[in-house]
């Protein structure tokens, strides 16, 4: 019996969780409220939290990268927010995560129903 898993949020940790659950054989779906992955690393002028347009990450790209997905040479040593956002999109491309990602799907409630969890989007 395949175990179904829901990941809430498509930021860096949500993407890493999605990838690892998929690799371990789970039936997994990631729900992201916005129309992109990468969490706050994509600038937005709406009311939700995001990076500023000119944000530069305060950690080296070599310490920031996922252990199984190295950064590219063209990324700055201290990446800009757009570079980090694109890196996360490339991560989704590389590990074929897109089919498991539901954008524009805010999770409204997670509750226990009998022996299962119900996720309402």
The string of pLDDT tens digits covering residues 89-103 is 999 999 999 999 999
Mean pLDDT of 52-67: 91
Question: What DSSP letter does each residue of 16-50 carry, written as one string?
Answer: HHHHHHHHTT-EEEEE-SSSSSSGGGS---SSS--
Phi, psi of 99 (to 5 degrees): -60, -20
Report whether pLDDT(82) > 90.
yes
- Determine which of 11-25, 40-54, 69-83, 104-118 has the lowest per-residue pLDDT on average: 40-54
Helices (H) and strands (E) in the chain, counts: 3, 5
* Angstrom distance (rounded) from CA 57 to CA 51: 10
pLDDT of residue 47: 81
Q: Assign 1 a pLDDT band (cuts: 50, 70, 90).
A: confident
């Amino acid at each position: 019996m395949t175990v179904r898993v829901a990941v809430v949020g498509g930021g860096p940790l949500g993407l890493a969780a999605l990838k690892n659950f998929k690799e371990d054989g789970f039936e997994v779906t990631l729900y992201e409220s916005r129309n992109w992955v990468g969490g706050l690393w994509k600038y937005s002028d709406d009311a939700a939290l995001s990076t500023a347009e000119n944000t530069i990450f305060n950690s080296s790209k070599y310490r920031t990268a996922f252990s199984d997905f190295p950064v590219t040479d063209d990324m700055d040593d201290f990446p800009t927010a757009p570079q980090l956002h694109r890196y996360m999109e490339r991560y989704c491309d590389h590990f074929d995560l897109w089919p498991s990602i539901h954008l524009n799907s805010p999770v409204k409630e997670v509750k226990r129903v009998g022996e299962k969890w119900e996720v309402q989007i």
